[in-house]
């Protein structure tokens, strides 16, 4: 008698199905962990941050400086210092990063690229404490000290330069990706019209890649705002800071203020809302970088849609 193939033969074993379901559940759980992390992040920021917002005397947030252990939470001091370091960082990282990107995308031979790109990646991997050390012991005396002899040993200018060096690879790699995404047709069309290499790079490729280049700058700004250790080590202020808008003096950025407040003593001690101020500054920082990252994301997606 011939045995016909039945539907049972095509169905797989129970064990195989169960294994499949188990794996699916496990990896779905892993994916949901990231959502849980975000939720916990927002909960921890809001819980203490809100206590600060609701409880603090807002007169204390406009003082002569940031003295959290004495109940003076002048956010302006931190904000101005953050803007100064970020601005200086971008003055360093913008031109150098962009020049590197244009050179790598438009001029460099395969051999040069094969050597230079990994080296830039190594620079990107240097821990920020190392840049902090370098900013304090090299940039401050050798560079900033020469520009302005009155600059303090650690200063916002030294820290900003250090942060800038740290963000060069970021600007370079994101910009280079944008430049590389510009179709060869555009370059060839321009060359066919007799345009020189420089003209092609600056008038054809650069405008075509502008969205991505803007994105690289915004990401770098966001990164510079969030950078902590370089400013904490080389920013020239500890625990508290008087208001200043001179880059050649020491001050605390938002991040450095958080690190100073948490470090040093065993517990964050102080009057009133010292502990909560930590989370309030963190909340501001989170919102600021979140908005910048979203804008950068929008720009990056525009590049993808274009080509």
Which residues ranging from 212 to 241 are in contact with another protein (CB under 8 A)?
A: 219, 222-223, 225-229, 232-233, 238
Q: Which is nearer to another protein, 59 or 141 (CB)?
A: 141
Is 204 an interacting residue with respect to another protein (CB under 8 A)?
A: no
- Which residues inside 111-140 make contact with another protein, applying CB under 8 A? 114, 116, 118-123, 125-134, 136-138
Say how far apart CA 276 and CA 273 lie, in whole Å: 5
User: What is the edge-to-edge ordering of all strands in the sheet holding 72-73?
Assistant: 72-73, 65-67, 241-242
Is 1 an interacting residue with respect to another protein (CB under 8 A)?
A: no
Is 54 an interacting residue with respect to another protein (CB under 8 A)?
A: no
DSSP bridge pairs for 241: 66
Q: b/e for 139-152, b at 16 or more Cβ within 10 A?
A: bbeeebbeeeeebb
Q: What is the CA radius of gyration of the chain?
A: 26
The DSSP secondary-structure symbol of 103 reads I
Q: Residue 72 phi/psi, 5° resolution? A: -110, 110
- Min dist. Cβ of residue 131 to another protein (A): 8
Q: Which residue among 44, 64, 148, 306 contacts another protein (CB under 8 A)?
A: 44
DSSP bridge pairs for 67: 72
Q: How many chain residues touch another protein (CB under 8 A)?
A: 93
- Which residues inside 183-202 make contact with another protein, applying CB under 8 A? 196-198, 201-202
- Which residues inside 245-274 make contact with another protein, applying CB under 8 A? 255, 258-259, 262-264
Say how far apart CA 84 and CA 232 lie, in whole Å: 15
- Min dist. Cβ of residue 21 to another protein (A): 10
Q: Which residue among 5, 34, 146, 149 contacts another protein (CB under 8 A)?
A: 34
- Min dist. Cβ of residue 292 to another protein (A): 8
Tell me which H or E stretch contains 93: helix 75-102
- Min dist. Cβ of residue 53 to another protein (A): 15
CA distances from 136 to 154, 163, 167, 231 (A): 6, 12, 17, 10
Q: Which is nearer to another protein, 130 or 210 (CB)?
A: 130
Q: Which is nearer to another protein, 208 or 233 (CB)?
A: 233
Q: Which is nearer to another protein, 64 or 294 (CB)?
A: 294
Q: Which residue among 1, 5, 7, 26 contacts another protein (CB under 8 A)?
A: 26
Q: b/e for 18-53, b at 16 or more Cβ within 10 A?
A: eeeeeeeeeeeeeeeeeeeeeeeeeeebeebbebbb
Q: Which residue among 98, 158, 170, 252 contacts another protein (CB under 8 A)?
A: 98
Q: Residue 156 phi/psi, 5° resolution? A: -60, -35
Judge contact between 45 and 284, C-beta under 8 A: no
Judge contact between 231 and 159, C-beta under 8 A: yes
Q: Which two tokens stand for residue 267?
A: 């517990």
- Min dist. Cβ of residue 71 to another protein (A): 21
Is 178 an interacting residue with respect to another protein (CB under 8 A)?
A: no
- Min dist. Cβ of residue 58 to another protein (A): 22
Q: Which is nearer to another protein, 84 or 172 (CB)?
A: 172
């Amino acid at each position: 008698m011939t045995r016909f193939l039945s539907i049972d033969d095509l169905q797989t074993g129970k064990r195989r199905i169960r294994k499949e379901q188990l794996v699916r559940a496990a990896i779905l759980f892993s994916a949901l962990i990231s959502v849980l992390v975000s939720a916990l992040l927002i909960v921890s920021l809001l819980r203490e941050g809100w206590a600060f917002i609701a409880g603090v005397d807002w007169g204390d947030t406009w003082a002569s400086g940031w003295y959290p252990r004495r109940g003076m939470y002048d956010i302006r001091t931190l904000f101005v210092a953050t803007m100064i370091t970020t601005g200086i960082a971008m003055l360093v990282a913008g031109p150098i990063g962009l020049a590197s990107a244009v050179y790598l995308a438009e001029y460099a031979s395969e051999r040069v690229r094969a050597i230079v790109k990994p080296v830039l990646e190594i620079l990107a991997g240097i821990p920020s404490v190392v840049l902090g050390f370098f900013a304090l012991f090299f940039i401050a005396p050798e560079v900033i000290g020469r520009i302005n002899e009155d600059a303090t040993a650690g200063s916002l200018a030294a820290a900003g330069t250090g942060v800038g060096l740290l963000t060069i690879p970021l600007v370079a790699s994101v910009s280079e990706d944008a430049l590389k995404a510009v179709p060869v047709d555009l370059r060839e069309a321009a060359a066919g019209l007799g345009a020189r290499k420089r003209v092609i790079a600056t008038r054809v490729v650069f405008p075509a890649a502008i969205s991505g280049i803007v994105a690289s700058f915004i990401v770098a700004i966001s990164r510079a705002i969030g950078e902590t250790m370089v400013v904490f080590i080389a920013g020239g202020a500890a625990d508290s800071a008087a208001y200043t808008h001179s880059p050649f003096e020491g001050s605390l950025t938002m991040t450095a203020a958080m690190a100073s407040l948490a470090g040093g003593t065993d517990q964050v001690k102080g009057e009133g809302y010292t502990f909560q101020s930590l989370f309030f500054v963190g909340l501001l920082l989170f919102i600021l970088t979140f908005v910048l990252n979203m804008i950068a994301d929008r720009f990056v997606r525009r590049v993808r849609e274009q080509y």
